């Protein structure tokens, strides 16, 4: 006896519009594609498009709003773990978003490299991720000297490391292990800043001098680590 499963569930309109838009961008180019072209392919009116996307640029990055919301919820639910580990884990949510559909992610990366306006838009999205991570770090270090500064620096480091690994994977055409690329990059952040986000640097007295010695040719991250250790006490 054949089971009647009913009609297939329609995809959300937001996804239908995004798919139609991106298909046209790849066929005709971003600049030559209009909103009218997009809604015609999707079979809806202009009002439907602007209900979901304020602009064509937003249709290229339809998943970032959801990822930002997931990141915010993840950080709000985080416990008392090392805050640097926590923000590194939060950054991996972005990686997973890209890894769900490697072909689309690679095509979008290439399109973004070709269209300056999309590159500018992408940088604004990256900055929103960075502010979200920095806000969490600053709350965790509330009351500590230079809490805001340290939060900004650590958040910027996490985003830079994550994007280095992600873009390496995208440039390869989505080949290999994206997670391994990003983990390798984030390991540098953990090495330099791990267990330090909540701890202010120890204040030296006016007469106190600290001498730090590093081997000739030592990488900068190792020098920074030794300075952090000298002032922080661990």
What confidence tens digit (pLDDT) does each residue in 208-234 have?
Answer: 555 555 565 656 556 556 655 655 544
Most confident of 26-40, 185-199, 215-229: 26-40
Task: Please compute the mean of the pLDDT values over residues 90-100 and round it to a whole number.
Answer: 95
Domains of the chain, CATH where assigned: 10-61 (1.10.10.60), 63-200 (1.10.357.10), 203-234 (no CATH)
Please give the average per-residue pLDDT across 4-15, as a whole number: 70
Q: Are 113 and 166 in contact (CB under 8 A)?
A: no
Give the three-state DSSP class for 117.
Answer: helix
Q: Identify the band that residue 97 occupies on the pLDDT scale cut at 50, 70 and 90.
A: very high
Residue reference for tokens 């919301």: 69
Averaged pLDDT of the chain: 85
- Exposure string over 142-176, b if 16+ CB within 10 A, otherwise e: eebeebeebbbbbbebbbebbbebbeebbeeebee
Tens of pLDDT, residues 130-177: 999 999 999 999 888 899 999 999 999 999 999 999 999 999 998 888
**How would residue 203 be classed by pLDDT, with cut points 50, 70 and 90?**
very low
pLDDT reported for residue 171 = 94
pLDDT reported for residue 106: 94
Whether pTM > 0.85 for this model: the answer is no
pLDDT bin (cut points 50, 70, 90) of residue 201 is very low
What is the tens place of the pLDDT at every residue in 39-81? 999 999 999 999 999 999 999 998 899 999 999 999 999 988 8
């Amino acid at each position: 006896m054949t089971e009647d499963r009913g009609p297939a569930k329609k995809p959300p309109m937001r996804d239908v519009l995004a798919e139609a838009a991106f298909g046209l961008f790849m066929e005709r180019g971003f600049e030559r594609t209009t909103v009218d072209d997009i809604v015609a392919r999707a079979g809806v009116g202009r009002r439907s498009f602007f209900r979901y996307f304020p602009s064509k640029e937003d249709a290229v990055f339809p998943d970032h709003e959801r990822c930002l919301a997931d990141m915010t919820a993840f950080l709000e639910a985080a416990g008392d773990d090392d805050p640097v580990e926590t923000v590194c884990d939060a950054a991996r949510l972005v990686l997973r978003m890209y890894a769900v559909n490697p072909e689309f992610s690679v095509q979008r990366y290439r399109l973004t490299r070709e269209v300056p306006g999309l590159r500018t838009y992408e940088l604004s999205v990256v900055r929103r991720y960075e502010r979200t991570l920095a806000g969490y770090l600053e709350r965790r270090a509330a009351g500590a000297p230079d809490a805001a500064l340290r939060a900004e620096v650590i958040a910027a480091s996490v985003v830079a490391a994550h994007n280095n690994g992600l873009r390496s994977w995208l440039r390869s055409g989505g080949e290999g292990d994206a997670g391994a690329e990003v983990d390798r990059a984030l390991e540098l952040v953990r090495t330099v800043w791990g267990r330090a986000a909540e701890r202010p640097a120890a204040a030296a007295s006016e007469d106190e001098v600290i001498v730090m010695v590093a081997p000739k040719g030592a990488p900068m991250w190792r020098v920074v680590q030794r300075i952090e250790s000298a002032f922080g006490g661990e």
